[in-house]
Amino acid sequence: MYILIERRLFCLSSAIPFIINSETVIMSVETKNLRNIVLLGHSGSGKTTFAETMLFESKALNRRGTVESKSTVSDYTNIEQDKQTSLFTSLMHVRWKNSKINIIDTPGSDDFVGEVISSLKVADTALVILNAANGVEVGTELLWEYVQSFNTPAIFVANQIDHDKSDYDATLEQAKERFGNKVLPFQFPLNQGAGFTTIVDALRMVMYVFPEDGGKPEKQAIPESAIGRAQEMHNALVEAAAENDEALMEKFFEEGTLNEEELASGLTIALANQLIYPVFCASATQNKGSGRIMGFINDIAPSPADRPEAALEDGGTIACDKNGPTTVFIYKTLSEPQVGQVSYFKVYSGILSAGDELVCNRNTERIAQIYESNGKIRTQVNSLVAGDIGATVKLKHTHSNETLTAKGVEHKIEKIKFPEPRIRTAVVPPSKADMEKLMKALHQIEAEDPTLIVEQSIPLKQTILHGQGQLHLDLVKYRIEKVNNIKMEYERPRIPYRETITRMANDSYRHKKQSGGSGQFAEVHMRIEPYVENMPAPAGLTVRNTEIIDLEWGGKLAFYWCIVGGSIDSKYANAIKKGIMQKMAEGPLTGSYCQDIRVSIYDGKMHAVDSNDMAFMIAASQVFKSAFEKAGAQILEPIYDVDILCSDQVMGDVMGDLQGRRAMIQGMDAEGHYQKISAKVPLAEMYKYSSTLRSITQGKAKFTRKLSEFIPVTHDIQKALIRDYNSQLQEA
Ligand SMILES: Nc1nc2c(ncn2[C@@H]2O[C@H](COP(=O)(O)OP(=O)(O)OP(=O)(O)O)[C@@H](O)[C@H]2O)c(=O)[nH]1
Ligand SMILES: [Mg+2]
């Protein structure tokens, strides 16, 4: 299929205006010719620079930018250029031989793992960039878990071979050790380090010698000194290619080798099924090696149609077929100055054409323009076929992680699951006038970034942001200040404590008010006890009715109606329950949520004229408070399960720091070259943990956390918390 493409100017960033002339080009794009590649790897391994060299080598660029001169195609936003690191995924594409290769560059920092996950969702091959001077770094190991969970075929690139400290063999060994024996070298450098020029290619059995400033290499015969190693590698590749196809295996046994076509066919199967992880070498800064890797991607990497069918929300699957119903999944949105929301998508099925009307959640969206993208430069196209990745602007109703389909088609692509937040902060409330603007802006960022959660906490009386790390939260602040022009400060977030009781207590309260006409009267007798599942019925009471309520903040309220002889009409039960719930939402000790309490209403009084729902609500709330205080009231604090992955050298520092955080170490396990420490840590001790961990380990550790349980605080902490709360009440 040939698509007419009109090339125009689109300046979407406030960074540097970009101008290109209008022209019209004809390009061929068939699903089988598409290659969707995601660049992954530890921060600083060279992903963005590698993307730049791919663009340059394929002539999509005529001048190569650098991260240092803030001129790469991928890192085009001001903040990425300021920080000299990628913060958002960025979509680019090149033409190489028959293929259109879509390239998604991702940030290596663990704070932006959401960007990695959404890119892996739509990519068909991962290009894992290793820094050959550092070997396999912790960020890459963590990313590998996601590559595995998406079953994405992967190719390793040992980058920075020109680095003084480059050690290809050590990097290869580490990769085998961490990622298994499917890691298979296709190349090795002959002269790594400052004078790097030469790569031996064991697939083609040829040597590539690069000019000093990189680019197209000269092919030469492999020298005697390297032929043995090259042949050994080649044999391993031939064996790997033959292994997964009976016909190839037979041929291999008969003839002891395979021809080029057979080799390609076997390797294609092996790569697509994650039976091999090829390793290549490169220097991104010196523009050496990317051409061969793009050639391999063109020849061997799977097209979107070669991957398993995509999972749908309803449990079914959908084939990547241009004749299927148009199905478009938004994997990322980003608002940009002067443009508004840009939505990045993959066409999972059918053909998306400009002007199409598609449906998402019963809302019709007209897709007015479709773009191919190279960072901030977007080129308008008429249509994109199944498997292709592109961008559109100004969608009104459709957000990240949602599916647009042709009218009458109901299915949805299975949503991306994002990890739990790892860090929280509170926002210092701005002026009343700015508050509304701030909340709107925060919710806009939240809609674009599913790893950010904005919570307006009523019990904590704070706006809390939950994110992935300090850098992540700093980025939110930067965007609010620079894009929305609202001053924003962070402060220490309060802790969501819980309150409960430790023993049984009985109490009663009479609410009586006589003011002018009709008065208010209600008397409630209540027993409260700590609630545990399957506890025996309250001793000495006659239970008429029971209700176990799951509280929205966690834990339970067991509400027992034990009135005999009609001392309170059962029509007031709901009002009584409401009064209790009101108090449970603002606990008697510190205003925190209460949980796991059984309340039995066993006696009371009512008045024929003066009793009403309001009176019973007040009486119930009062008696709950006074009974609670008699029942060994206890404050509980949230405890998190924290898993830290770190290298041996920094383990002592990580443990020392944990000890200062009241942590309870649960275990230590070796994971490859890393240690995994599992600990239970009170949330109150986790403030700014992500920056502390980064600084004490120089970035050589990563952590995840998950709410584990609420446990009682010590007597001293409880006293201090109650004192603080009471002084806050007096100040208010
Ligand atoms: N010597 C050498 N330096 C490189 C090479 N590739 C990248 N660098 C340098 O490494 C640093 C990081 O490069 P980036 O391309 O920003 O790395 P990245 O993987 O995109 O980093 P994040 O976006 O932070 O995850 C820059 O200073 C690059 O110039 C290489 O092949 N050789
Ligand atoms: Mg980068």
DSSP characters for 65-94? --TTTT--SS--SHHHHHHTS--S-EEEEE
- Other Cβ atoms less than 10 A from the Cβ of 603: the count is 18
**Same domain as 264, residue 206:** yes
What pLDDT does 630 receive? 96
* Mean pLDDT score of the chain: 92
Residue 684 lies in a domain: yes
Residue 11 lies in a domain: no
- Between CA 355 and CA 371 the distance in angstroms is 13
Our mutation pick for probing the ligand 1 site, out of 72, 285, 475, counting the most ligand atoms within 8 A of Cβ, is 285
The secondary structure element, H or E, covering residue 370 is: strand 370-374
Question: Could you tell me if the CB of 53 is within 6 A of ligand 1?
Answer: no
Q: Please list, in sequence order, all residues whose beta carbon lies within 8 angstroms of the beta carbon of residue 131, skipping any fewer than 6 positions away.
A: 41, 42, 44, 45, 46, 137, 159, 160, 163
* Ligand (nearest to CA of 112): 1
- Between CA 393 and CA 405 the distance in angstroms is 17
* Ligand (nearest to CA of 66): 1
Q: Which amino acid is at 242?
A: A
**Same domain as 668, residue 604:** no
CA 354 to chain centre: 31
What pLDDT does 73 receive? 93
Question: Could you tell me if the CB of 47 is within 6 A of ligand 1?
Answer: yes
606 — pLDDT class (breaks 50, 70, 90): very high
**Same domain as 153, residue 293:** yes
**Both tokens assigned to 164:** 């003084």
Our mutation pick for probing the ligand 1 site, out of 56, 67, 88, counting the most ligand atoms within 8 A of Cβ, is 67
User: 598 — phi, psi (to 5°)?
Assistant: -105, 130
* Ligand (nearest to CA of 375): 2
- Give first-to-last CA distance, the chain, whole Å: 70
Question: Could you tell me if the CB of 390 is within 6 A of ligand 1?
Answer: no
List the domain range (segments joined by +) for residue 292.
32-307
Angle at 369 between CA 368 and CA 374, to 5 degrees: 160
b (16+ CB within 10 A) / e for 195-224: ebbbbbbbbbebbbebeeebeebeeeebee
* Contact criterion met (CB below 8 Å) for 388 and 29: yes
Sheet holding 125-131, edge to edge: 90-96, 99-105, 34-40, 125-131, 154-159, 277-281, 183-185
- Between CA 70 and CA 44 the distance in angstroms is 15
Question: Could you tell me if the CB of 162 is within 6 A of ligand 1?
Answer: yes
Judge whether residue 19 has pLDDT over 50. no
Interval between CA 67 and ligand 1 midpoint (Å): 7
**Same domain as 686, residue 547:** no
User: Among the three residues 262, 278, 307, which one is the final residue of a domain in this structure?
Assistant: 307
Question: Could you tell me if the CB of 86 is within 6 A of ligand 1?
Answer: yes
352 has which bridge partners? 384
18 — pLDDT class (breaks 50, 70, 90): very low
Question: Could you tell me if the CB of 107 is within 6 A of ligand 1?
Answer: yes
Judge whether residue 241 has pLDDT over 50. yes
Angle at 116 between CA 114 and CA 122, to 5 degrees: 110
Interval between CA 112 and ligand 2 midpoint (Å): 11
Residue 729 lies in a domain: no
Interval between CA 86 and ligand 2 midpoint (Å): 4
CATH number of the domain encompassing residue 555? 3.30.230.10
**Same domain as 515, residue 664:** no
Residue 52 alpha carbon, nearest atom of ligand 1: 15
* Ligand (nearest to CA of 90): 2
**Same domain as 235, residue 196:** yes
* Ligand (nearest to CA of 128): 1
Helix/strand/coil for 654: helix
User: For every residue of 50-66, which 3-state class applies, written as one string?
Assistant: HHHHHHHHCCCCCCCCC
* Ligand (nearest to CA of 160): 1
Angle at 69 between CA 64 and CA 74, to 5 degrees: 60
Q: Which range is most confident: 6-15, 246-255, 440-449?
A: 440-449
- Angle between the 290-300 and 260-272 helix axes, to the nearest 10 degrees? 80
Residue 283 alpha carbon, nearest atom of ligand 1: 31
Which residue has the CA at smallest separation from atom 22 of ligand 1? 43
Which residue has the CA at smallest separation from atom 7 of ligand 1? 46
Q: Which amino acid is at 383?
A: S
Judge whether residue 181 has pLDDT over 50. yes
Question: Could you tell me if the CB of 287 is within 6 A of ligand 1?
Answer: no
User: Among the three residues 583, 607, 632, which one is the final residue of a domain in this structure?
Assistant: 632
Angle at 380 between CA 95 and CA 358, to 5 degrees: 110
Question: Could you tell me if the CB of 42 is within 6 A of ligand 1?
Answer: no
- Between CA 615 and CA 511 the distance in angstroms is 7
- Between CA 531 and CA 529 the distance in angstroms is 6
Interval between CA 42 and ligand 2 midpoint (Å): 9
Beta strand 198-201 with 674-682 is unpaired
Residue 696 lies in a domain: yes
CATH number of the domain encompassing residue 232? 3.40.50.300
Question: Could you tell me if the CB of 288 is within 6 A of ligand 1?
Answer: no
Q: Which amino acid is at 519?
A: G
**Same domain as 615, residue 523:** yes
Residue 27 lies in a domain: no
Question: Could you tell me if the CB of 284 is within 6 A of ligand 1?
Answer: yes
User: Among the three residues 455, 475, 494, which one is the final residue of a domain in this structure?
Assistant: 494
Neighbour-count burial of 26, counting CB atoms closer than 10 A to its CB (0-12 exposed, 13-18 middle, 19+ buried): exposed
Structural domains of the chain, count:
4
**Same domain as 203, residue 119:** yes
**Same domain as 532, residue 490:** no
* Contact criterion met (CB below 8 Å) for 102 and 91: yes
Question: Could you tell me if the CB of 451 is within 6 A of ligand 1?
Answer: no
Our mutation pick for probing the ligand 1 site, out of 45, 49, 82, counting the most ligand atoms within 8 A of Cβ, is 49
Interval between CA 60 and ligand 1 midpoint (Å): 20
CATH number of the domain encompassing residue 469? 3.30.70.870
Higher pLDDT, 150 or 15: 150
**Same domain as 156, residue 65:** yes
Interval between CA 111 and ligand 2 midpoint (Å): 13
The conformation of residue 413, written as its DSSP 8-state character, comes to B
pLDDT digits (tens, 9 = 90+) for 359-399: 999 999 999 999 999 999 999 999 999 999 999 999 999 99
22 — pLDDT class (breaks 50, 70, 90): very low
* Contact criterion met (CB below 8 Å) for 327 and 412: no
Residue 318 lies in a domain: no
Judge whether residue 414 has pLDDT over 60. yes
Angle at 71 between CA 65 and CA 73, to 5 degrees: 80
Question: Could you tell me if the CB of 74 is within 6 A of ligand 1?
Answer: no
**Same domain as 530, residue 582:** yes
- Between CA 83 and CA 472 the distance in angstroms is 13
Question: Could you tell me if the CB of 403 is within 6 A of ligand 1?
Answer: no
**Same domain as 437, residue 293:** no
Question: Could you tell me if the CB of 159 is within 6 A of ligand 1?
Answer: yes
Residue 393 lies in a domain: no
The conformation of residue 681, written as its DSSP 8-state character, comes to E
* Ligand (nearest to CA of 50): 1
As a dihedral over the C-alpha atoms of residue 152, residue 37, residue 367, residue 12, rounded to 10 degrees, the angle is 140
516 — pLDDT class (breaks 50, 70, 90): low
Interval between CA 78 and ligand 1 midpoint (Å): 18
pLDDT digits (tens, 9 = 90+) for 669-722: 988 778 999 999 999 999 989 899 989 998 888 899 999 999 999 999 999 999
> In terms of DSSP H, where are the helices of 512-669?
573-585, 613-630, 648-659
CATH number of the domain encompassing residue 681? 3.30.70.240
Rounded to two decimals, the pTM is 0.85
CA 594 to chain centre: 32
**Both tokens assigned to 476:** 């939110």
Residue 408 lies in a domain: no
What pLDDT does 28 receive? 45
518 — pLDDT class (breaks 50, 70, 90): confident
